[in-house]
Chain A
Amino acid sequence: MGEPLLRVEALRASYGDAPALHGVSLELAKGETLALIGANGAGKSTLLKSICGLVGQIEGRILFKGEDIARCPASRIVRLGIALVPEGRRLFPSLSVEENLVLGGKARRPGPWSLESVYALFPVLKERRRQPALAMSGGQQQMCAIGRALMSNPDLLLLDELSLGLAPAIIKDIYELLPRIAGGGGGAILVEQDVMRALATAGRFVCLQEGHVSLQGDPAAHSRDDITRAYFGT
């Protein structure tokens, strides 16, 4: 199998005095989609943010393509090929749809994604490209946030709570596009409240509970009871 795309080793992270991760280890192979599940406060978002370089106080190692990026600034990590679709989308309100996308491409990594290919994936963004990003509906904003992350042509795409606040029909549309979004030889980590959807989409899962890995493996190899226990810690 060779070297994993991402390897997290004994990662500890904290905000101020409040620890959020207590020694998390996981691996992700090239081309793999991993579902990261867990209750609120289990540390899923913290783990994604740590990988992107947004958490100041971390211990342990984060190896991306063999290089330890645990102490790299976020603006460098995106150049190495990691992009995040943040929870709540966090589009830039004073930028137009197209400006949001263009800024997403600032890292100028070569690859298949460009304004044209993002517009081909989400045609509605092209229609609305001159509008302020927040003038669009929630689903369209989520498309813009995904497009913005793709613009950097990441090798590893981190998706945080894609379905939050969206109508079920929109969620279904976005998940149908997910293989095209996360495909292309890179890897993806999917954080999702909707556990069943995440498990159905991903080839493997990691369940976090209070900052620890409580269960991981192939979704089909574990019973729902096992997963529920790992999720809630009963």
Chain B
Amino acid sequence: MTWINAIVQGVLVGGLYALFAAGLSLIFGVMRLVNVGHGDLIVAASYLAWSIVHATGLHPLLSLIIVAPVAAVFGYTLQLGILNHTLGKGILPPLLVTFGLSVIIQNGLLQIFTADTRKLDAGALETGSFALLPGVDIGYLPLLMFATAVVVIGALQFLFYSTGLGREFRAVSDDREVAELMGVDERRVYAAAMALSLAVVAVAGVFLAIRSNFDPFMGPGRLIFGFEAVIIGGLGNLWGTLAGGVILGVAQGVGAEIDPGWQVLAGHIAFLLVLAVRPRGLFPRIS
């Protein structure tokens, strides 16, 4: 039963990893930009939520009403003001600029919030659980995280395949030049994609802050989990990203069951195994 429990808990944690990854997957799919600052943006969202909760006394989840729009506007501006200028000149400029962004965010957070760890308190949500099977308890928080990941990815999927904006996302991803010929302003389409990515980052940041302690230097670790989920699932496939998050979560859960020290390592090993067997991930949409 402990193994079943490890797997079930791993699946639920996989939802959080999928939330880390969904924004990355979206951005890479639309504009082939690898956002090295993605993890730090998640942590910055955690701090923004923390500040709002402390200033207003709102429930952490309700802080999203403010954090998500602020993050989206920031993403739109960041893309229009900076990241658009790095595109179309090879793979290095966006990597360098987002790496710089990562350094700036980490040190900015350190400056403002010090290196002390923080956490958001979501009250009964964090401790409540129900028994799925004898010995397998499902916590409300992990279940909510997983359900949120499914809803977020379902919504992104709908947006991508059933709306006009999604049509333009796919068109600029296919052929930027011809999309422009149709009257698509790709700078604004990219900015909309980044806004959406950062709205998802806000959700991930709030859950991260409720689930565990966080500090200004947690970003790169979240970025790695996000990357691994995206690549395991296959580039450009959002449901694949959810599957990737779940595989990563289960591998970590099973690893931790063998030996607590193996938790993170087991996730990386699962990632390397997938890369070795299926270099393009399990369900790739983009070659």
Binding site for B on A (CB under 8 A): 52-54, 73-75, 78-79, 83-84, 86, 90, 92-95, 99, 102-104, 106-107, 148, 152
* Chain A residue with Cβ nearest B167: A99
* B183 adjacent to A75 (CB under 8 Å): yes
When the two chains form the complex, which single residue of A53, A73, A78 contacts B182, counting CB atoms closer than 8 Å? A78
* A92 adjacent to B171 (CB under 8 Å): yes
- In the complex where A95-B167, A102-B167, A103-B168 touch, is A152 in contact with B174 (Cβ < 8 A)? no
20 contacts between A and B (CB under 8 A): A52-B181, A53-B180, A54-B181, A73-B185, A75-B185, A75-B186, A78-B183, A86-B181, A90-B175, A92-B179, A94-B170, A94-B171, A94-B174, A102-B167, A103-B171, A103-B179, A103-B182, A103-B184, A106-B183, A152-B183
4 further A-B contacts with Cβ under 8 Å, apart from A84-B181, A92-B178, are A75-B185, A78-B181, A95-B174, A152-B183
Kindly state the separation between the CA atoms of A91 and B179 in the bound complex, as whole angstroms. 10
B137 within 8 A of A: no
Kindly state the separation between the CA atoms of A107 and B183 in the bound complex, as whole angstroms. 6
* Chain B residue with Cβ nearest A78: B183
Query: Of residues 150 to 186 in B, which have CB atoms within 8 Å of A's CB atoms?
Result: 167-168, 170-171, 173-175, 177-186
* Chain A residue with Cβ nearest B171: A92
* Chain B residue with Cβ nearest A158: B181
Query: Separation in Å of the B30 CB from the closest CB of chain A?
Result: 11
B contact residues, total (Cβ < 8 Å): 17
* A74 adjacent to B170 (CB under 8 Å): no
Q: Is the interface of B mostly helix, strand, loop or mixed?
A: helix
Kindly state the separation between the CA atoms of A39 and B174 in the bound complex, as whole angstroms. 30
* B178 adjacent to A90 (CB under 8 Å): yes
Q: Which residues of B contact A103 (CB under 8 A)?
A: 167-168, 171, 179, 182, 184
Kindly state the separation between the CA atoms of A84 and B180 in the bound complex, as whole angstroms. 11
Q: Which residues of A contact B183 (CB under 8 A)?
A: 75, 78-79, 106-107, 152
Counting chain A CB atoms within 10 Å of each CB, the highest count among B171, B178, B183 belongs to B183
* Chain A residue with Cβ nearest B286: A94
Kindly state the separation between the CA atoms of A75 and B177 in the bound complex, as whole angstroms. 10
* Chain B residue with Cβ nearest A105: B182
* B167 adjacent to A75 (CB under 8 Å): no
When the two chains form the complex, which single residue of A73, A83, A86, A95 contacts B171, counting CB atoms closer than 8 Å? A95
Query: Separation in Å of the B178 CB from the closest CB of chain A?
Result: 5
When the two chains form the complex, which single residue of A83, A95, A102 contacts B181, counting CB atoms closer than 8 Å? A83
| Minimum-distance CB pairs A-B, first 5 | A107-B183, A74-B180, A92-B174, A94-B170, A78-B183
- In the complex where A92-B170, A103-B167 touch, is A86 in contact with B178 (Cβ < 8 A)? yes
Q: Which residues of B contact A74 (CB under 8 A)?
A: 177, 180-181
Query: Separation in Å of the A101 CB from the closest CB of chain B?
Result: 10
Query: Separation in Å of the B173 CB from the closest CB of chain A?
Result: 7
Q: Which residues of A contact B168 (CB under 8 A)?
A: 103
* B184 adjacent to A93 (CB under 8 Å): no
- In the complex where A54-B177, A90-B175, A92-B175 touch, is A107 in contact with B170 (Cβ < 8 A)? no
Query: Separation in Å of the B263 CB from the closest CB of chain A?
Result: 37
When the two chains form the complex, which single residue of B173, B175, B177, B182 contacts A104, counting CB atoms closer than 8 Å? B182
Kindly state the separation between the CA atoms of A102 and B179 in the bound complex, as whole angstroms. 12
Counting chain B CB atoms within 10 Å of each CB, the highest count among A79, A84, A103 belongs to A103
Query: Separation in Å of the A79 CB from the closest CB of chain B?
Result: 6
When the two chains form the complex, which single residue of B171, B182, B186 contacts A107, counting CB atoms closer than 8 Å? B182
* Chain B residue with Cβ nearest A99: B167
* B170 adjacent to A95 (CB under 8 Å): yes
Query: Separation in Å of the B282 CB from the closest CB of chain A?
Result: 19
* A54 adjacent to B180 (CB under 8 Å): yes
